[in-house]
Structures are given as structure tokens and as C-alpha cells.
Structure 1
Amino acid sequence: MPLRLPPLPALRFFEAAGRHQSFKLAAAELNVTPSAISHGIVGLEQSLGVELFVREPRGISLTAPGADYLSYVSEAFSLIAIGTQRLPNHRADRPIALSCAPTFASRWLLPRLAGFRAHWPNVNVSVDTSHRQVGFPVDGFDFAIRMSRAPVAGTAWTRLFGERLVPVCSPAYLASLRGEHGTVDLRHATLIHVNAASEDWQAWLEATGAGEIDAAGGLRVDTIQLAFEAAGMGLGVALGRRPLVDRDLDSGALVEACADTVVATTAYWLVSAENAERRPELADFKRWLVSEAEHFDAPAETTGQGRHNCGN
């Protein structure tokens, strides 16, 4: 007697909504409307006779039965995806799919991809910078690059490099901060904050002991890229993140406002799908990426008083 399964489209809606904890994000991922996600899950709940989500004005959350059911559904989709990938000659020419943050992609990854293409000209790479959570292998990604303090259980994590935090600004703005004796005091600077950054000015101030600098005010932006651009326009001092800010420092578009450098507690990690080592081109890409990253993971000690007066 064949197994009776719930409608598969509804299960797909449920898996995406449960993973994102959002009907809206699930709809964007699956290219349907939030209403379609909501109606599909209502139908699934009626079919199962179980409430899967708690619906509140500020969002949704899984019920206890919903969370338990999600683990089974996610595993089932993963098994289907893995089985499909293992079929002989299945999409052998498909590009390497990578998810990463847009600033990391534009400032570190893309400038180096020409080197990869020079060695593997027939291997294509697809880069996704949509900020969405990636599920391996359901979403079809081979790799993701994520910021974290430590590996997360369940997938293969390989450290790439950590960031080194140093205040940066335009040369003209630095000149405006200089006092009579040529010293620079960040207490008089406008600090440019990145709302989404896991470590920002507060972390730098605590590590350097620059407690007299007020981190409450200033300009706030939502990406690291915008922070660098605002600093280049003379709007204030941003927290530079080496090596992402290196090209601006090398070109002179930005300069160090203070020499005190802090090693971030988070790092960039390469997260791999379970079958990443089975495709030769994926193994080559991983080795290449790790090799490129090795040059940037030399630890830098936090310095006390730098070449400028930082205000501490």
C-alpha cells in the first residue's frame, strides 16, 4: 500500500517558512507571494490536523509539533537533493554556487576570481549576495562564506581569516581633526557605525581602552561598503576592516585615523555542503579559496597608543 504524503508543494512552503521563520522570506526564496505561502501552510495544517505555526502581529514562530515536524521534512528534502546530485552525469556542468555578503564579494572575492578562472577556465562560479539563510543542500548552494566566532555543528566549516579593525577616514577629514601640535583626537570625530556589524565601534573602544570617546552618536549605515564610502566622502571616521579596506588604504582614498588595531573575535568561515568533496571542481575551488585566504589570517596584536592621539 503506497504511503500517503501531504501535498509536496505545501511541504516545500512549510520547510522554507520554518527555516526562515517568515512567510515573506520564504515567498521571496520560492518566487511566490506571501499569501500563497500562508494559504499553502493553512491547507497543510488542515490536512495534518496540527497547528504548525503560532501567528502573532510581529511575526510567526514554530509550535512544538511544527519544530519537530520541520526536522523530518528538512531531512527528507536534503536526502532527495543529495540523491539527485549523485545521479550519474547530473548537471555535471552546473556552476559552483556560493553565498556570501556583498561587501566581502566585491572587495575580496571578485578581485581574486580571475586567478581561479586562469587555472580552471571551464569552471563557472555563481555568487549570491542576497543575505538569505542558506540551507544545505536544499537550496542548491555548494558553499557559503559566513562570519562567526566558531564553527557551527551540522556542516563542514573551514576558517578563512579574521578581520583587523582600525579607524579610517579621508585624508581631508584627518587633517580637520589635527590639533595645534599635529595630534588627532577622535573625541571630536563623527563616528560612522554599521548597524548590522557583529563587531563595531564599541568593541574597538573596549579593546583599546579609549573610554572617553562617545560611541552613542554619529552616522549610522546598514552595510560596511556604505561606511567606507561615507568615510571617503569626509562624513566621519569608519571602522576599517582589514583586509576588506586594504585597497582604499593602498590607493590613499582612506587613511588610518589612529594606529590602534584590534583583532576581531569573529572570522570568515567557508561553509561546505555535505557532498562538496565529491565533485572535483568543488574540491579545487575550496583548496584555492583556502590558499588565497591564508595570506590574510596573520594575527595582529592590539596596540595601545598609536601614531595619533586617539582620545584615550
Structure 2
Amino acid sequence: MPLRLPPLPALRFFEAAGRHQSFKLAAEELNVTPSAISHGIVGLEQALGVELFVREPRGISLTATGADYLSYVSEAFSLIAIGTQRLPNHRADRPIALSCAPTLASRWLLPRLTGFRTRWPKVNVSVDTSHRQVGFPVDGFDFAIRLSRAPVAGTAWTRLFGERLVPVCSPAYLASLRDEQGNIALRHATLIHVNAASEDWQTWLDATGADGIDTAGGLRVDTIQLAFEAASLGLGVALGRRPLVDGDLSSGALVEACSATVASAGAYWLVSAESSDRRPELIDFKRWLVSEAEPFDLPSETTSPDSRRVESS
């Protein structure tokens, strides 16, 4: 007697909603409406006779039963995806699919892809910069680049490089911070904060021991890219993240407001799908990307030769 399965579209809705803990994000991923996700899961709950989610005013969360069921459903979809990828000649020419944060993609990855395309002109690359959690291999991604303090169990993580934090601003704004003796007074500067950043001004201040700077005020933005743009327009001092800010420093659009550099606790990691070691082009891409990142992975040291002099001036 054949196994009786729940409706497969509803299971797909459930897997995405459970992974994101959001009907809205699941709908965006699957290109349907949140209402379709909600109705599909209600139908699934009725068919199974159990409650999979707790609906609350501020969002949804999996019930204990839903969390347990999600592990089975996710594994089932993963097995289907892996089996499909192993089919002979299955989409042998499909692009390498990479998920990456927008600022890292535009400022570090894209400028280097020319080199990859020169060596492997027939291999196409697809870069996705949407802010969403990636599920290997269900989402179809081969790699993801993520900022994290340590690898996460369950997938293959390869360290690329860490960030180095240094205050930056426009040349004109730096000139406005100089006193009669030529010293830079950061305590008079407007600090540009990145709301979503896990490490920002307080991290730099704690590591350098700089004092006299108020982090409560200033300009607040939601992306690193916007912070760099605001600094280049003379709106204040942003916390530069090297190597992402290296291009601006080389061009002169931004300059270091202080030479004190702090090593970030986090690092960029290349996360690989299980199937990434089965396609030659994926192996080549991974080796190439790790090689490109190697010169930027400097020792985790904090340099603060003049931080106290600058801040107290």
C-alpha cells in the first residue's frame, strides 16, 4: 500500500515558514503571497490534525510538534535536492549560486570576479544579496559568505578574512576636526552609527581605551555602505571596515581620522553546500575565492599608538 503524504506544496510552505519563522519571509522566498502561505499551512494543520505554529500579534513560532516535524520535512527536501543534483548531466551548465551581503559583494567580491571569469570564461556565477537565511541544499545555493564569530555546526565553513575597524571621514571633515596644534579631536565629531552592525563604535572605544567620546548621539544608518557614503559626504566619522573601505581610502574619498585599528571579533566565512565537492567548477571557485581572501586575513591585533592623544585633545 503506498504511503499517504500530505500535500507537497503545503509542505514546501511549512518548511520555508519554519526555517524563517515568518510567513512574510517564506512568501518572499517562494514568490507567493503571505496569505497563500498562511492558508496552505492551515490546510496542512487540518490534514495532520496538529498545530504547527503559535500565532501571536508580533509573529509566529513553531510549536514543539512543529519543530519536531520540521526536522523531518527539511531532511526530506534536502534528500530530494541532493538526489536531483546527482542525476547524470543534471543542469551541468547551471551557474554557481552564491549568497552574499550587499556591501561585501559590491566592495570586495565583484571587483575580483573579473579574474575568475578570465580563468573560467564558460562558468557563470549568480550572486544573491537578499537578506535571508539560506537553507542548503533546498534553496539551490552552492555557497554563502557569512559574517560570524565562529563556524556553525552542520555545514562546511572555511574562513576567508576578518575585518579591521578604523575611524574614517572625508578629507575636508578631518580638517575641520584639527585644533590649533594640528591634533584631531574625535570628541567633537559626529559619529555615524550602523544600526545593524554587531560591532560598532563601542567596540572600537573599548579596545583602544579612548575616552571623552559620546556614542549616544550622531547619525544612524542601517547599512555599512550608507555609513561610508555619509562619511564621504562630510556628515561625520564612520567606523571603516577594512578591507571593505580600502577602495575609498586608496582613492582619497575617505581618510583615516585616527590610526588606531581594532581587529573585529567576527570574520567572513565561506559556507559550502554538501554537493560543492562534486562539481569541478565549484571546487575551482572555492579554491579561487579562498586564495583571493588569503592576503586580507591579517593577524588579529589591535593597534592604538595615538588613540588617547587624539581623543583627549
| 1:310 Cα deviation from its structure 2 partner | 2.9
**C-alpha distance in 2 between matches for 1:143 and 1:51:** 34
**C-alpha distance in 2 between matches for 1:205 and 1:56:** 39
| SS of residue matched to 2:61 | strand
| 1:302 Cα deviation from its structure 2 partner | 1.3
Which residue does 1:238 correspond to in 2? Answer: 238
Matches within 5 A, 1:149-298: 149-298=149-298
**C-alpha distance in 1 between matches for 2:196 and 2:167:** 18
**C-alpha distance in 1 between matches for 2:159 and 2:10:** 37
**Contact map agreement 1:160 1:268 (CA 8 A) in 2:** yes
| 1:301 Cα deviation from its structure 2 partner | 2.4
Query: Which residue identity lines up with residue 115 of structure 1 in the other structure?
Result: G
Query: Which residue identity lines up with residue 8 of structure 1 in the other structure?
Result: L
| 1:275 Cα deviation from its structure 2 partner | 1.0
Query: Which residue identity lines up with residue 163 of structure 2 in the other structure?
Result: E
Which residue does 1:129 correspond to in 2? Answer: 129
| 1:24 Cα deviation from its structure 2 partner | 0.2
Which residue does 1:2 correspond to in 2? Answer: 2
Query: Which residue identity lines up with residue 242 of structure 1 in the other structure?
Result: R
**C-alpha distance in 2 between matches for 1:310 and 1:143:** 42
Matches within 5 A, 1:74-85: 74-85=74-85
In structure 2, list runs of 5 or more residues that go unmatched.
none
**C-alpha distance in 2 between matches for 1:77 and 1:117:** 32
**Contact map agreement 2:17 2:23 (CA 8 A) in 1:** yes
| SS of residue matched to 1:284 | helix
Which residue does 1:138 correspond to in 2? Answer: 138
| SS of residue matched to 2:121 | coil
**C-alpha distance in 1 between matches for 2:211 and 2:72:** 50
The 3 A distance-change label for structure 1 pair 74 and 55 is same
| 1:85 Cα deviation from its structure 2 partner | 0.1
Per-residue CA distance 1:52-85 (angstroms, 9 max, x = gap) = 0000000000000000000000000000000000
| SS of residue matched to 2:104 | helix
Q: Is 1:303 the equivalent of 2:303?
A: yes
Query: Which residue identity lines up with residue 141 of structure 1 in the other structure?
Result: F
The 3 A distance-change label for structure 1 pair 149 and 210 is same
Query: Which residue identity lines up with residue 24 of structure 1 in the other structure?
Result: K
**C-alpha distance in 1 between matches for 2:19 and 2:133:** 8
**Contact map agreement 2:210 2:311 (CA 8 A) in 1:** yes
Per-residue CA distance 1:246-280 (angstroms, 9 max, x = gap) = 01000100000000000000000000000101100
Query: Which residue identity lines up with residue 156 of structure 1 in the other structure?
Result: A
| 1:300 Cα deviation from its structure 2 partner | 5.3
| SS of residue matched to 1:275 | helix
| 1:309 Cα deviation from its structure 2 partner | 3.8
Pairwise CA RMSD: 1.0
| SS of residue matched to 1:141 | coil
| 1:304 Cα deviation from its structure 2 partner | 2.5
Which residue does 1:116 correspond to in 2? Answer: 116
**C-alpha distance in 2 between matches for 1:307 and 1:191:** 16
**C-alpha distance in 1 between matches for 2:144 and 2:310:** 37
**Contact map agreement 1:258 1:308 (CA 8 A) in 2:** no
**Contact map agreement 1:257 1:308 (CA 8 A) in 2:** no
| 1:308 Cα deviation from its structure 2 partner | 8.7
Moved more, 301-310 or 67-76: 301-310
Per-residue CA distance 1:119-151 (angstroms, 9 max, x = gap) = 000000000000110000000000000000000
**C-alpha distance in 2 between matches for 1:22 and 1:36:** 13
| 1:307 Cα deviation from its structure 2 partner | 7.8
| 1:298 Cα deviation from its structure 2 partner | 1.3
**Contact map agreement 2:208 2:262 (CA 8 A) in 1:** yes
Name the count of aligned residue pairs.
312
Query: Which residue identity lines up with residue 74 of structure 2 in the other structure?
Result: S
Query: Which residue identity lines up with residue 125 of structure 1 in the other structure?
Result: V
**Contact map agreement 2:209 2:307 (CA 8 A) in 1:** no
Moved more, 297-306 or 88-97: 297-306
| 1:212 Cα deviation from its structure 2 partner | 1.9
Q: Is 1:148 the equivalent of 2:151?
A: no
**Contact map agreement 2:209 2:308 (CA 8 A) in 1:** no
| SS of residue matched to 1:54 | strand
Task: State the TM-score, normalized to the length of structure 1.
Answer: 0.99
**Contact map agreement 2:170 2:231 (CA 8 A) in 1:** yes
**Contact map agreement 1:184 1:308 (CA 8 A) in 2:** no
Query: Which residue identity lines up with residue 103 of structure 1 in the other structure?
Result: T
